[in-house]
Structure 1
Amino acid sequence: MRQPSIFEMNYKKILSPIIAIFLCGSCQQSQQTDFNSYGHQATLSPKSGTASAASKDIQLPDSSNADLADSTDHLLLGNPSGATAVTENADNYLIDHKYYIESYSRTKAEPNWVSWHIGAEDLGHAGRSNNFRPDTDLPQGWYEANNTSYRGSGFDKGHNCPSGDRTSSTAANSSTFLMDNIIPQAPNNNQHTWEHLESYCRTQVKRGNEAYVIMGSYGTGGTGKNGYFETIDDGRINVPSHLWKVVVIIPEGDDDLQRIGTDTRLIAIDTPNDNSITPNWMNYLCTVRDIEKATGYDLLSALPKALQDRIELKKFKGGN
């Protein structure tokens, strides 16, 4: 299980009475392909540490509802952009979808980043919902992308938090088809490169691990099967130029922040949103610090600074 750091967040969806909780502590669903031939067996060793605050101004729904109790796990590694659930912060707007948390951009009509946790409890037998739909809970007056917004664009409706990571229930799977979890993604990127990494992560969870994932995109202009575009849907939706992902994998257990150390398996990739991309995600490995420089985000901010300075400069070399 996870050890939360000190959280305060305004939840967008209030399903039950709100209580303030302070916790101490310092792509779509697809075939379950095993991609563990990429390199050597990674060595993971526990390492204690004091976590800093992972996010700001967090309030949680009633924790008596077990289905909501672990919602803070999705931001355990930190709030990369300091997103807040206030409409004045429209291009860095924090949304809790219960099964994942995101920073949303009203201007781009897509997420900046999405963060979630994958444990054995998240992987079940629920089928793919495939019910792409607008998020009608966006603030009044904000554009809501819908199932037809990508039609004829040459780009896939690319999940940030993938359908395959949320198969514990129909509700969990359906949540991933909200259009504010979607970006215009080059088909080969989505269906091959990205899918392979998603399957790799799920395989690790099935082998007794848990994973913390942050995915995002940046820039403008990508190449789908119909060529290069900067926007789709009559200019309403930005086409990102790059897609990135950071994955932290640790053995299933407790006190997760304190078990992340210099030997923890950490994967960071940054891919062009281009249909000519190769299917092997390991061709696009980078460091967390590379992504931070490209985006301006502070990733893994809940970890001690000294630890961040070491692991954010390491590039994954493979492991299963």
Structure 2
Amino acid sequence: MLLKHSYRYLLLLILIFSGCKDSEVAPQQSLTLEEEQSLLGNPSGATADESNYNNFLMAKPQYALSYSRDRGTSNWVSWHVSEDWLGTADRQDDFRSDPELPQGWYRVTASSYRGSGFDRGHNTPSADRTKSVEDNSATFLMTNMIPQAPQNNQETWANLEDYTRDLVRDGMEVYVVMGSYGQGGTGSNGSARTIDNGNVTVPNRIWKVLVVLPEGEGDLQRINTGTRVTAVVTPNSNTVRSDWGTYRTSVDAIEQATGYDLLSALSTQVQQALESQVDTGPTQ
């Protein structure tokens, strides 16, 4: 009888222990790569509906974007930068049209910016996607490009991109949303409102928002009113300063200029706290 009770007791312990173990180690439902890139929300409410031709959602494993057929550029692009995305893949430089655009839409080509005085400026930088050749190659699709003044692209923006990756190497991870708005910039050949026979609009302003977190899990739940958020807006001009920190602004200011709802996946309380501030943290 004692042996029988002991056996039942042992079996009960095994069942209880097994249940606790399962509940403790059961991982949270993992995000798809596409969900990871748009974790902070869909700023413009873009949809993958061809009739929504100036706010067309394109969700890729490497980044998400809202594309404007009439402008020939993205409205905004969002992506995640972490150690998981950084590796040793070479820069591919394979600029090309995006085959995922709907049939019948004008497709910006690798040569569309030639002779314009503007760089093929990446939204999601090539150096943010070096884990594999495929990931790096994806950043050279022309839907990820904007006509960017060379000094703005090669100095001001490059410095901000380098700083973002420095944060990651220091144990952080960064969620980024970048976009542009307005019409008319000044490149190495002077001012222009469009290029490529009017098929590509030259933006007037270029903006970016960084949400910085210590490396960890459950990122959306870890963003709080103390999280560092850096917002930057620069003129699309060849006379901008190389120090991106001088162009810091608030998320609220970018929202007012664009009509977008940035960081929309966060609670209203957290959004209000983070979006009204102007970052004063280090810039290098």
TM-score by length of 2: 0.88
Q: Deviations over 1:40-89 (max 9, x none)?
A: xxxxxxxxxxxxxxxxxxxxxxx9xxxx9332111111100000000010
**Pairing 1:119–2:91 present:** no
C-alpha separation in 2, matches of 1:240 and 1:145: 16
2:116 partner amino acid: S
Match of residue 258, structure 1, among 221, 225, 229? 221
Distance in 1 (CA, whole Å) between partners of 2:69 and 2:61 is 20
1:288-317 CA-partner distances (Å, limit 9, x unpaired): 000000000000001000111111011110
C-alpha distance in structure 1 between counterparts of 2:155 and 2:224, whole Å? 31
CA distance in 2, matches of 1:274, 1:245: 16
**Superposed, which structure 2 residues align to 1:212-227 within 5 Å?**
212-227=175-190
Report what 1:11 is aligned to: none
- Select the residue among 107, 110, 117 that pairs with 1:144: 107
User: Cα RMSD (Å) of the superposition?
Assistant: 1.4
Name the aligned partner's letter for residue 283 of structure 1: T
- Separation in 2, partners of 1:104, 1:181: 9
- 8 Å CA contact 2:193–2:201 kept in 1: the answer is yes
Q: Give, in whole Å, the separation in 1 of the partners of 2:85 and 2:217.
A: 17
Question: C-alpha displacement at 1:259, in angstroms?
Answer: 1.1
Aligned mates of 1:136, 1:126 — CA distance in 2: 23
Q: Which amino acid in 1 is paired with 2:74?
A: P
SS, match of residue 249 in structure 2: coil
Distance 1:69 1:235 in 2: 37
Aligned structure 1 segments of 4 or more residues deviating by more than 4 angstroms = none
How far the C-alpha of 1:137 sits from its partner, in A, is 2.0
* Superposition pairs of residues 142-181 of structure 1, within 5 angstroms: 142-181=105-144
Match of 2:250 in 1: 287
Q: 1:296 aligns with which of 259, 262, 273?
A: 259
Once the two structures are superposed, residues 236-291 of structure 1 have per-residue CA deviations (whole angstroms, 9 ceiling, x without a partner) of 10000000000001001111112111221111000000000000000100000000
Select which of 257, 273, 280 maps to 1:317: 280
Deviation at 1:136, TM superposition (A): 1.9
Structure 1 counterpart of 2:58: 95
Separation (CA, whole Å) in 2 of partners of 1:96 and 1:298: 18
- Are 1:188 and 2:129 an aligned pair? no
The structure with the larger Rg is 2
Report the Cα distance in structure 2 between the residues aligned to 1:255 and 1:235, rounded to whole angstroms. Answer: 44
Q: What CA distance in whole angstroms lies between the structure 1 residues aligned with 2:139 and 2:182?
A: 23
The reply on whether 1:200 has 2:163 as its aligned counterpart is yes
Counterpart position of 1:105: 68
Q: Return the letter of the residue paired with 2:95.
A: F
Pair 1:278-2:241 in alignment: yes
| Aligned counterparts of 1:239 and 1:315: Cα–Cα separation in 2 | 27
* Aligned AA (1:280): D
**Structure 2: any 5+ residue segments left out of the alignment?**
1-27
Number of residue-to-residue matches in the alignment: 256
> Is 2:201 the partner of 1:231?
no
Q: Please give the alpha-carbon distance, in whole angstroms, between the structure 2 residues aligned to 1:71 and 1:79.
A: 12
1:213 match: secondary structure? strand
Task: Give the TM-score of the pair, scaled to structure 1.
Answer: 0.78
| Residue aligning to 1:84 | 47
Partner of 1:57: none
Judging by fraction of residues, say which structure has more helix: 2
CA distance in 1, matches of 2:272, 2:110: 42
| Unaligned ranges ≥5, structure 1 | 1-23, 26-62
Q: CA deviation at 1:216?
A: 0.2
Q: What is the percent sequence identity of the aligned residues? A: 54
For residues 121 and 98 of structure 1, the distance between their equivalents in structure 2, rounded to whole angstroms, comes to: 13
Counterpart of 2:170 in structure 1: which amino acid?
Answer: R
